[in-house]
Every structure is written in C-alpha cells, then in structure tokens.
C-alpha cells in the first residue's frame, strides 16, 4: 500500500479554460505555479479528445518548464497522448484496475472517493492517490454525493494510507484545518482560477500549508 508521506505536493490546481473567467488558462497556470502550485490537473468536461489533447499539450509546455506534474481528468487517451504524469478518474470513468491492466505504471492514478464503501475495493487499492470528493459542497461541481467534511476526512484517513487530496470549496480559511484533519494535499479550482490575482491567491493558500 502506498504511504501517504510519499505524495510531496500540497497545493494542487484543477484548471479548465471556463474556470478562468475569460482569461487564458495558460497564463493562469503559469501565475499559479509562480505562487506555489505544485501539481496541476487539466479538467475539461466538454471537449472532444483532439481539442482536449491540443490544450493539454500547450499546458504541458508550461508544466514541464517548471517541473510541475500534469494530471488529465477522465480521458486516458489524452493522458497517454501527452505523456502526462497522471490521470484522475471518478466512478463513471474508466476504472483504475482497467487503466493499470492496460497501461501498467505509466500513469499515476487518482481516484475520487464519494462513498465509504469504495475504500474496500480493488479500484481504491489500485489507485495511487485518492480525492476526497467533495470535502465541502461547492458551486463548481454540483453533481456530488457526500459532503465529507473534516470528520469524513478523518474517518477516511483512519482507513487508508493512500495520499488524500481534499477538493471542494477549499480556500485559505479552511486549508490549514483540512491538512490538520489528515489530508496530504488540497486541490482548488475557483480559489485560484477565479481570483483577481491567481499568483497571490496561490501564494496565500500555499502559506497556509507550511
């Protein structure tokens, strides 16, 4: 079983063009990295594979320059096409066991936990890190199941050694408490993508996690 201390990233940006409110997602990503974001996921829910791949390749030019790992949401074809660091999947995507069987250890696999019962499955055992989805309910993603809260996070922490990434309405007022409750990393969309100054927003969030 992976040891959660092996996940060295504390501030994880989940980005899409839409979340950046008309600004260029590449610029927002670069500013976020300057502020202290350590790992980035490109999450585009409506693009075909070709367009998603083009956007991912452009983002990868930036993440590579700064040695920041790039994760692709949902679409394994895109993740493989751009030689991403990882793929993030949920319950309606290709299961981690299938990804591992087909592509071995090429991709780090993130897997969203929405039900406690998932912890006892081969999918969770196969994943490299787990998303606590959502830690708090959020307007950014409304089709969610369980709002875990800090207690839910603590419960999951007691049941697994996998790295835990908390996502959902995370901001500088709750980030430190989330780490204290057992998360290894916090992931945000709007706290950085929708901020007036993404670099400053990232810097302030990262400072909460020392």
**Shortest spacing between CB 156 and ligand TZP, in angstroms:** 14
> Do the annotations mark residue 139 as ligand-binding?
yes
Q: Does 90 bind Mg ion (CB under 5 A)?
A: yes
Residue 70, phi then psi, degrees to nearest 5: -110, 130
The option from ligand TZP, Mg ion, none interacting with 63 (CB < 5 to 8 A, set by class) reads: none
State how far the Cα of 152 lies from the Cα of 172, in Å rounded to an integer: 20
State how far the Cα of 52 lies from the Cα of 36, in Å rounded to an integer: 25
106 vs 124 by CB, closer to ligand TZP: 124
State how far the Cα of 85 lies from the Cα of 38, in Å rounded to an integer: 13
Angle of helix 25-35 relative to helix 198-207, nearest 10 degrees, comes to 30
- Which secondary structure element, helix H or strand E, spans residue 166, and what is its range? strand 164-167
74 vs 204 by CB, closer to Mg ion: 74
74 vs 123 by CB, closer to Mg ion: 74
Q: At CA 51, angle to CA 55 and CA 142, rounded to 5?
A: 80
| Structure tokens given for 84 | 């991403």
22 vs 102 by CB, closer to ligand TZP: 22
Contacting residue, 30, 38, 44, 74, with Mg ion by CB under 5 A: 74
- Which secondary structure element, helix H or strand E, spans residue 13, and what is its range? strand 11-15
Q: Does 114 bind Mg ion (CB under 5 A)?
A: no
Q: How many chain residues bind Mg ion (CB under 5 A)?
A: 3
**Shortest spacing between CB 21 and ligand TZP, in angstroms:** 12
End-to-end CA distance of the chain: 26
Q: Token match 């040891």: residue?
A: 3
141 vs 155 by CB, closer to ligand TZP: 141
Q: Does 11 bind ligand TZP (CB under 6 A)?
A: no
Task: Spell out, one character per residue from 137 to 176, where the chain touches ligand TZP: x when CB under 6 A holds, - when not.
Answer: -x-xx-------------------------xxxx------
CA 38 from centroid of its chain's CA atoms: 11
**Shortest spacing between CB 57 and ligand TZP, in angstroms:** 22
Residue ranges in contact with ligand TZP by CB under 6 A: 14, 133-134, 138, 140-141, 167-170, 188-191
């Amino acid at each position: 079983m992976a040891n959660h201390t092996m996940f060295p990233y504390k501030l994880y940006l989940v980005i899409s063009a839409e979340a950046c409110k008309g600004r260029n997602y590449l610029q927002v990503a670069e500013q976020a990295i300057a502020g202290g974001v350590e790992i980035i996921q490109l999450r585009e829910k409506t693009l075909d594979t070709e367009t998603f791949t083009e956007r991912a390749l452009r983002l990868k030019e930036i993440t590579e320059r700064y040695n920041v790992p790039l994760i692709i949401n949902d679409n394994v074809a895109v993740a493989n096409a751009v030689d991403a660091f990882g793929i993030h999947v949920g319950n309606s995507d290709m299961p981690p066991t299938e990804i591992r069987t087909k592509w071995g250890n090429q991709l780090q696999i993130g897997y969203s936990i929405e039900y406690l019962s998932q912890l006892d499955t081969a999918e969770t055992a196969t994943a490299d890190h787990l998303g606590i989805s959502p830690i708090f309910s959020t307007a950014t993603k409304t089709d969610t199941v369980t709002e875990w809260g800090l207690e839910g996070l603590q419960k999951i922490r007691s049941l697994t050694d996998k790295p835990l990434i908390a996502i959902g309405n995370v901001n500088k007022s709750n980030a430190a408490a989330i780490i204290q409750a057992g998360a290894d990393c916090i992931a945000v969309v709007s706290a950085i993508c929708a901020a007036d100054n993404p670099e400053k927003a990232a810097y302030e969030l990262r400072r909460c996690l020392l």
